[in-house]
Amino acid sequence: MSMRNVYEILNEFKNTADRNTKINLLRHYAQTDPVLKDVLFGAFHPFMNFVIKDLPKYKTPDCPPGMAYSHMSHAISKSYLFIENHPRAPAGLTMARRIQLLQQLLESLEEKEAEVYGNMLLKDLKVEGLTKEIVDEAFPGIFA
């Protein structure tokens, strides 16, 4: 099985009618790519506070799917830069610098992956039917 982008998984989720099938779909893809679970955690964990309230303007990369400079796994590994009071964030990291780093990160991702990442930071993945309750049911204890 080939790796799927997070946006592809979220589209499949959106187009699946049955709640149990949706939950099993999330579990299945999280086994093959833990980035999905990281995105869901970031979007729905109530204590995950991102300092980003609006996304900066950024250029969408002009590349075919799968050929972006970077991947969601790299973007997720940099999320600490955008979390309020994260201990790994460099001392003195200004909001202006965070915005600049976010802009660069978004520009390095495939267009639809950048949208997912930005929506995660804004705490709204914009996927109908995808709720904190479904994520908690698919991954018991994820928010503990």
Count of C-beta atoms within a 10 Å radius of residue 18: 9
Q: Which of 42-46, 63-67, 77-81 has the lowest mean pLDDT?
A: 63-67
> Residue 15 and residue 68: Cα distance in Å, rounded?
25
121-130 tens-digit pLDDT? 999 999 999 9
- What letter does residue 32 receive in the DSSP assignment? H
Q: How much is the pTM?
A: 0.93
Q: Choose between 141 and 61: higher pLDDT.
A: 141
